Amino acid sequence: MRLGIDGLKLPEVKKRGALASLDHVKSLGLGGVFFSTLLDMSPTLDRGALRELRSRADELDLYLEAGLGKINPFCNAEVPELRAAGGGDIIAGLSRMIETGAEIGCRELWVSTGNFKPQFTGRFAVDRFRTDVSWEDQLLAMEKVLRLLAPVARAHGVHMNIETHDEITSFEILRLIEAVGEDCVGVVLDTANMLQRGEHPLLAARRLAPWVRQTHIKDAYVGRAPGGLDFQPRPCGSGIVDFSPILALLAGVNPQINLSLEIAQSCEDKPRQAWPRQCIQIDDPLWRAGHPDLNEQELDAYFVMLDAFEQRVAAGEIADWESYERAHYGYPSYQHQPYGYTQTVGFIQQSADHIRALCAAQGIDLR
């Protein structure tokens, strides 16, 4: 196993560009980078540029991972670059990305099922609760997209790996894998996103483990708040996720898997919006009705985990939402946002140290 970073959140990645960012990743003591899409590696999918990127990653002994993008046709208007990659044909664009990815050895490719809308709080921040199209119809449409892409994925030995993203549940991902085929569909395990769907991180990881091929290693604060629960990204080891059993699980099913840290993005790269609460409306009847697979046993485990975490917050061991937001982002005015490059590197180092320590304690080989 190797420990690297999600390229989207790597500080200064756009400023430096993909190629120079490889040297940046190496200087941070990390083992690789997971670019969200092939377009982040080369906006024009230039084969020469992609081969150069692959060659440089090999020289630096870094893993190189990537993805395709969104597979939900109801939200693809929000990502016009996918249509542009195929000259107006989204399926052609995604197919071209599969082909060019395979050419440079990137055969595990991330896909996502929606776009998070940070300008909204609660259920309307995710595509799951759109009112113009049901989530069931969106899932059916995504299955059709995966089926259209499956032949080219199979032809190139590629897996399209569905992230445990903000809007989808582990149960639904499993059904998509079953419908399309595990020979070309897998999972990107984001260790914190399932919290937004009321799923316990370890229980969800156990359900998905045999099909996990890529990761986003992420932690979060979750605490009771008006309307439900607050969700806030935190460095690994300072949030609610217990990584020890998840790391052991992943090492057992796929000891060669790469662990890609997903961190809070630097405010110098993307300024923080005011009042960025990500409310999980877990007590709302409409929210509950929108999660028919969620059972009482898992909810009980979720709240036991939450109660234990809130005891740590009450004891002062963990900062609450407002204290953390004030210290890092200038809450409540947000006119001064101190969370810049230096603080982001600190977030990376704290997270990396925690994951390395846990792996060492369990005898997991981690580079």
How would you list the strands of the sheet with 185-190, edge to edge? Answer: 212-216, 185-190, 159-163, 108-112, 63-70, 32-34, 2-6, 258-261
Query: Tokens at residue 278, please?
Result: 């990500």
Domain that holds residue 273: 2-361
When mean pLDDT is compared across 80-89, 145-154, 237-246, the lowest value belongs to: 80-89
> What pTM was estimated for this model as a whole?
0.96
Mean pLDDT for 274-281 is 86
Q: Is the per-residue pLDDT at 121 higher than 90?
A: no
> Does 367 fall in a domain?
no
Question: Residue 261 pairs with which residues in a beta bridge?
Answer: 5, 217
Q: How confident is the model at residue 274 (pLDDT cuts 50, 70, 90)?
A: confident
**What is the rounded CA–CA span in Å between residue 5 and residue 164?**
17
pLDDT at residue 86, as a whole number: 86
Q: Is the per-residue pLDDT at 314 higher than 80?
A: yes
Q: Are strands 219-225 and 228-234 parallel, antiparallel or unpaired?
A: antiparallel
> Does 269 fall in a domain?
yes
Domain count, the chain: 1
Mean pLDDT for 216-227 is 97
pLDDT digits (tens, 9 = 90+) for 153-170: 999 999 999 999 999 999
Q: What is the CATH number of the domain that holds 113?
A: 3.20.20.150
> Does 366 fall in a domain?
no
**What is the rounded CA–CA span in Å between residue 294 and residue 128?**
15
Q: Is the per-residue pLDDT at 277 higher than 90?
A: no
Mean pLDDT for 228-256 is 97
> Does 121 fall in a domain?
yes
**What is the rounded CA–CA span in Å between residue 2 and residue 364?**
10
